[in-house]
A and B are shown apart, each in its own frame.
Chain A
Amino acid sequence: MIEIDIQKSFKNKNEQINFHFKTTIENNSINAIFGQSGSGKTTFLRLLSGLETPDIGYIKVNDKIWFDSKKKINLVPQKRDVGFVFQDYALFPNMSVIKNLRFAQQEKNENFLQELLEIVDLKELQNKFPNALSGGEKQRVALIRAVARRPKLFLLDEAFSALDYSMRQQLQDSIDKIHKSFKMTTLFISHDISEVYRLSSHIKIVKNGKIVKEGTPDILFDNSKISGKFKFSAKILKIKKADIVYIITLLIGNNLTKVVATKEEVNKLNTGDTILVATKAFNPIIII
């Protein structure tokens, strides 16, 4: 388990900002950090990785202390065993994919690199240079480069946000597969509810430099504690009146689907909103 209780204050223009992150992270879990821009999500990851130093507090990873202001312990980023992926990945342009990966490994383990290349479907491209790759492929290289050292903690700071929908999906698949294969404790920042739902088992909602709510991704919705077992987060693509009801066209994962709604429900909704749709496990018929 990772135990965190850290504080950091700084001045932004004339405003005094106080961040206080107090939480625990279970080993091998995959956690979404959710919140608006400016809420402190990136700072949280930077404080964890050692790129920034808290004013006071502690970070304890299992029995190892990474940071403790009282004991004056502050491990440098290289000693913290963290893999970090940023939105703007920087691969070495003069090295092939495989050389980029080897460069990131301290203890050489070629088998592990080949396994990673296989997982993200890049085995064929390992001898290519970065400028011969698409944006999504480059980002997948950056992803496995960050885990090439088998870090204890894997951090992703909006690693997907510059990509289009299908590339994001591929990258999400890759993260999911990497997590299932190697069980690294993972934290990723996301604004996208469907992404949070798809990938994470836990979510931490950050607001004004604090973790204000945490739990399963269901806490994102007010009516989260609905008993229905057949429930999905869905994006509204279209709302159309039909007879005296409304038909909402939804995107659930990759699938288009429709749900009937009342006027009162539709009044509260807009195209682009994410909603939770739920029904009971008794209702869907099964077609083979």
Chain B
Amino acid sequence: MNKIKGVIKKITSHQGISLVNIQILDTLFGTVLLDTPKSCNYLKIGKSITVAFKETEVVIALLNMGGISMTNQLKCKIKSIQNGKILSKIELTCKETILTSFITLNSSKRLNLKVNDNVMALIKANEISLIEED
């Protein structure tokens, strides 16, 4: 599980669904939840929160791509690449934060990913969970 600490900046709710915006490093993340400030006591502006998402949900894109719908984009540098027969484990650094992505080996080769490349890590808004940590 990838975990990054952030601060809740904005909450937009409608009929039990909320879009929560969280400041992470210098990016504003968005996550869609089936909760509202009424149903969930840690949904508060200014609250520190951990965003969590699975390694297999981190998409990697080259920097020169055109527009994309994904809300959550982090500019990263590739720290390490470990290839299996099917999957490829890409470790990324974004400032001091380390993220991990599992993509297919085919994709890793197709993009010709190498250590120290600058890439974008993309995570869909509905793949992000929030964790309140003590």
Contact = CB atoms under 8 A, between A and B. Distances in A.
Given A243-B87, A280-B127, A282-B126, A226 B34 contact: no
B85 interface: yes
Interface string B83-105: 11111110000000000101000
Given A243-B84, A244-B82, A244-B83, A282 B130 contact: no
Q: Interface size class for chain B?
A: 20 to 34
Contacts of B82: 244
Contact of B102 (A222, A245, A265, A281): A245
Interface in A216-240: 222-223, 225-229
A262 B100 contact: yes
Contacts of A243: 84-87
Given A244-B83, A262-B100, A226 B126 contact: no
Nearest to A227: B130
Given A229-B34, A280-B129, A245 B87 contact: yes
Residue with the highest number of chain A CB atoms closer than 10 Å, among B40, B89, B100, B129: B129
A269 interface: no
A260 interface: yes
A226 B52 contact: yes
A1 interface: no
B132 interface: yes
**A227, A228, A265, A278 — which one has the most chain B CB atoms within 10 A of its CB?**
A227
Contacts of B85: 243
Contact of B126 (A222, A278, A280): A280
Contacts, number: 56
A227 B89 contact: no
A227 B87 contact: no
A265 B126 CA distance: 22
Nearest to B20: A227
B89 A244 contact: yes
Contacts of B31: 227
A280 B54 CA distance: 11
Contacts of B130: 226-227
A225 B132 contact: yes
Contacts of A278: 129
Contacts of A245: 84, 87, 89, 102
A282 B32 contact: yes
A2 to B, nearest CB: 25
B86 to A, nearest CB: 5
A224 to B, nearest CB: 9
Interface in B94-134: 100, 102, 126-133
Nearest to B56: A260
A103 B103 CA distance: 67
Nearest to B2: A262
A223 B87 contact: no
B106 to A, nearest CB: 13
Interface string A245-288: 10000000000000010100100000000000011111100000
Contacts of B126: 280, 282-283
B33 interface: yes
A264 to B, nearest CB: 8
A229 B128 CA distance: 12
Contacts of B34: 229, 280-281
Nearest to B55: A262
Contacts of A279: 54, 129
Contact of B131 (A225, A244, A281): A225
15 contacts: A223-B131, A225-B131, A226-B129, A227-B40, A227-B130, A229-B34, A244-B83, A244-B87, A244-B88, A245-B89, A260-B56, A262-B1, A262-B55, A281-B34, A282-B32
Interface of A: 222-223, 225-229, 243-245, 260, 262, 265, 278-283
